[in-house]
């Protein structure tokens, strides 16, 4: 090693020792006769002092040092003089009196420095990621990520799971997300697909008898990005044989508790609370509600049916829903123009026709441009239904159940942030269970699998599979942390007949099924044990545990919203020769 100690290591106890440290220059302060350098590595910072005593020429060399140069210093650990102790540094009680200095590498004037207070734009950080990753905050996150993944691996190892790798080059399955494709050279015109998840492989592993499987698995989905979505992400993929949903949930409960304790020092009582999908949609408008605060959606369709207010009345008569929410004490928070903005937002983004609202006045009356359309008794009933008190802000949407869900869910989220309805340091973990098996796809005019086509229906719903698909509930469970989907899984179908029935319903005929999942269908006939599993989004877990609002900050080398890598400039052009070898011709996209 070129060093005897790291930059975060030295303490008073080391005073008098001759040591060698290496690192990057975090900052320097040139006082003429003496020069101070804060030397940084991932363990911390240590102050190095250069003076005439350092030796011939050393102070002159030190004077040339600049930010981010890489140096090696040998010196004597000395206590800092009275009054110059720096409490901001762990090593602030000592300094290294330099006796020798080696410039290991210079650095061009960097576009920004790791210690900068004005964080530059994200594009610059991504282009020079090697500098960005030197920042303490990025290091903290990546260290946290390491500890969490290690914690997961240890936990599953202790529970007798085996980590087994599955292929990256697989076969395309048009269901689900868009695949990333990899052309085959050997098979001209054919393509591999990168895995969206190791779903089929892990089921095969169950059939193969590896009854407790786990993998830290890279997954790929060629869909548009979001703050919490990358095209390339990491799942903790789990599958178990001879289990019920309770077993899977129990295992993950234990993992949540362990990591919350180890990483955040939080005590999470078990079992984690559960809510059905239907209840979540009814009360919160979403299958991953943020339960850190308790604002609930209230159905007022019956009251709407009695009003003269055309919008409400027409919706109720047409069999639509009128649902509302009470933002407690928020009446004074939102001005007329802010409400107009809110209204435009729910119209543009969620297809709402409008937003009805009331402010509860000091005398208990409801103030709103539409209030005159309501009989006073009805206003009182509406207020009571939403538990309205003076100062409250009541919002309503009249639309299909789906649209009211989307709009009110979004508003609820906004209220949560605007009104600071929860403690950001807290964590709320829960399970959403009993998802529908199928969702109607109006465009394709077919039933689509809500989760994936191998999801087992509840036994009591088997009979309804053909007669009433919408009523079928799956043995499915999603883990929700702070309103974010942190994982999801199902018990799988291990019975050929049920599998065929589900395929039929999804419009996957025997030939198609054969073509796409033939190997799984075959395997199911060779002694498949009952099995099920779950996949956790590791990047999101890190984001939630670190309290970040952006998944890119949890990934060493993330992609931009247009899925490019600003550092490597991927995706890039390839030689014509490479294309020829792959039997590929590119076509300029039509303008």
Q: For residues 181-210, which are near RNA according to CB under 7 A?
A: 196-197, 199
31 touches RNA by CB under 7 A: yes
In the complex with RNA, the residue whose CB is nearer, 338 or 367, is 338
Q: Give the pairing type, strands 191-193 and 181-183.
A: antiparallel
Cα angle value 470/475/479 (rounded, 5°):
110
- For the beta carbon of residue 55, count every other beta carbon within 10 angstroms: 14
Q: How far is the CB of 105 from RNA (least distance, A)?
A: 15
Residue closer to RNA by CB (options 439, 582) is: 439
Of the pair 94, 382, the CB lying nearest RNA is at: 94
Question: For RNA, which residue of 49, 205, 456, 523 counts as binding (CB under 7 A)?
Answer: 49
- Binder of RNA out of 8, 10, 21, 47 (CB under 7 A): 47
Interatomic CA distance for residues 84 and 167, integer angstroms: 58
Closest CA to 545 of 288, 271, 256: 256
Q: How far apart are CA 370 and CA 356, in angstroms?
A: 8
64 exposure class (CB count in 10 Å sphere: 0-12, 13-18, 19+): exposed
Query: Where in 341-370 is the site for RNA (CB under 7 A)?
Result: 348-350
Tell me: does residue 29 bind RNA (CB under 7 A). yes
Cβ pair 277, 283 in contact under 8 A: no
When asked if residue 54 is in the footprint of RNA (CB under 7 A), the reply is no
Tell me which of 453, 483, 487, 537 binds RNA, using CB under 7 A. Answer: 453
Question: Taking CB under 7 A as the rule, does residue 229 contact RNA?
Answer: yes
Minimal distance, residue 122 CB to RNA, in Å: 4
Of the candidates 90, 105, 103, 98, which has an alpha carbon nearest to the alpha carbon of residue 20?
98
> Is residue 282 involved in binding RNA (CB under 7 A)?
no
Pick between residue 122 and residue 495 the one whose CB is nearest to RNA.
Answer: 122
108 contributes a contact to RNA by CB under 7 A: no
Q: Is 568 in the site for RNA (CB under 7 A)?
A: no
19 beta partners: 75
User: Does the protein bind RNA through residue 124 (CB under 7 A)?
Assistant: yes
Instruction: State which of residues 1, 16, 32, 160 lies at the interface with RNA (CB under 7 A).
Output: 32
Residue list 373-432, contact with RNA (CB under 7 A): 406, 410
Helical spans, DSSP H, in 389-495: 401-418, 464-467
Stretch that binds RNA, among 176-184, 205-213, 312-320, 458-466 (CB under 7 A): 176-184
Q: What is the spatial distance between Cα 214 and Cα 202, in angstroms, rounded to a whole number? A: 9
Q: How far is the CB of 30 from RNA (least distance, A)?
A: 4
State the DSSP code for 263.
Answer: I
Q: To the nearest 10°, the Cα dihedral for 283, 284, 287, 289?
A: -130
Residue choice 11, 12, 13, 52 for contact with RNA (CB under 7 A): 52
| Helix (H/G/I), strand (E/B), else coil: 535 | strand
Count of residues near RNA by CB under 7 A: 73
Indicate which single residue of 4, 20, 36, 266 sits in contact with RNA (rule: CB under 7 A): 36
Nearer Cβ to RNA, position 30 or 418? 30
Considering only residues 27, 381, 400, 484, which one is a binding residue for RNA as defined by CB under 7 A? 27
Is residue 134 near RNA by the rule CB under 7 A? no
Segment lying near RNA (by CB under 7 A), choices 16-24, 51-59, 308-316, 540-548? 51-59
Q: Cα–Cα distance between 304 and 312 in angstroms, integer?
A: 5
Residues 6+ apart with CB under 8 A from 388: 326, 358, 360, 366, 382, 394
């Amino acid at each position: 090693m070129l060093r005897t100690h790291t930059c975060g290591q030295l303490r008073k106890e080391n005073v008098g020792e001759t040591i060698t440290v290496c690192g990057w220059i975090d900052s320097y302060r040139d006082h003429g006769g003496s020069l101070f350098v804060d030397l940084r590595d991932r363990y911390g910072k240590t102050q190095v002092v250069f003076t005439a005593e350092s030796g011939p020429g050393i102070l002159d060399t030190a004077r040339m040092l600049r930010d981010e140069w890489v140096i090696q210093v040998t010196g004597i650990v000395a206590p800092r003089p009275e009054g110059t102790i720096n409490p901001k540094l762990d090593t602030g009680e000592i300094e290294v009196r330099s006796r020798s200095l080696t410039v290991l590498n210079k650095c061009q004037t960097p576009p920004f420095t790791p210690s900068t207070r004005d964080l530059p734009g994200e594009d610059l950080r991504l282009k020079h990621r090697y500098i960005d990753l030197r920042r303490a905050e990025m290091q903290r996150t990546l260290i946290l990520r390491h500890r969490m993944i290690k914690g997961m691996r240890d936990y599953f190892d202790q529970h007798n799971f085996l980590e087994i790798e599955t292929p990256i080059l697989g076969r395309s399955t048009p269901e689900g997300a868009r695949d990333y494709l990899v052309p085959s050279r050997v098979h001209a015109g054919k393509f591999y697909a990168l895995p969206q998840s190791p779903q089929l492989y892990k089921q095969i592993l169950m059939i193969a008898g590896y009854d407790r499987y786990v993998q830290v698995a890279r997954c790929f989905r060629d869909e548009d990005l979001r703050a919490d979505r990358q095209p390339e992400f990491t799942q903790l993929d789990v599958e178990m044989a001879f289990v019920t949903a309770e077993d899977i949930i129990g295992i993950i409960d234990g993992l949540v508790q362990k990591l919350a304790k180890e990483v955040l020092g939080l005590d999470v009582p078990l079992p984690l609370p559960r809510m059905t999908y239907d209840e979540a949609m009814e009360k919160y408008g979403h299958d991953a509600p943020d339960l850190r605060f308790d604002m609930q959606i209230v159905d007022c369709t019956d009251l709407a049916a009695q009003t003269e207010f055309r919008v409400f009345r027409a919706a109720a008569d047409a069999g639509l829903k009128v649902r509302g929410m009470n933002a407690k004490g928020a009446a004074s928070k939102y001005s007329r123009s802010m409400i107009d903005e809110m209204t435009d937002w729910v119209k543009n983004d969620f297809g709402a026709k409008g937003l009805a609202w009331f402010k509860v006045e000091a005398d208990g009356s409801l103030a709103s441009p539409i209030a005159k359309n309501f009989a006073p008794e009805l206003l009182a009933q509406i207020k009571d239904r939403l538990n309205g008190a003076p100062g409250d802000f009541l919002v309503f949407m009249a639309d299909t159940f789906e649209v009211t869900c989307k709009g009110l869910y979004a508003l609820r989220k906004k209220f949560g942030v605007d009104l600071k309805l929860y403690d950001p340091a807290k964590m709320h973990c829960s399970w959403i269970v009993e998802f529908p098996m199928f969702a109607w796809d109006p465009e394709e005019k077919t039933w689509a699998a809500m989760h994936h086509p191998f999801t087992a229906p509840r036994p009591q719903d088997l009979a309804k599979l053909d007669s009433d698909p919408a009523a079928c509930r799956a043995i499915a469970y999603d883990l929700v942390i702070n309103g974010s989907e942190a994982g999801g899984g199902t018990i799988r179908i291990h019975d050929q007949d049920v599998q065929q029935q589900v395929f039929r319903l999804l419009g996957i005929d025997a030939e198609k099924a054969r073509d796409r999942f033939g190997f799984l269908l075959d395997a199911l006939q060779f002694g498949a044990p009952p099995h099920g599993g779950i996949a956790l989004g590791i990047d999101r877990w890190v984001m939630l545990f670190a309290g970040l609002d952006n998944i890119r900050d949890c990934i060493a080398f993330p992609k931009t919203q247009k899925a490019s890598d600003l550092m490597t400039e991927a995706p890039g052009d390839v030689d014509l020769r490479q294309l020829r070898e792959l039997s590929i011709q590119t076509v300029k996209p039509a303008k």
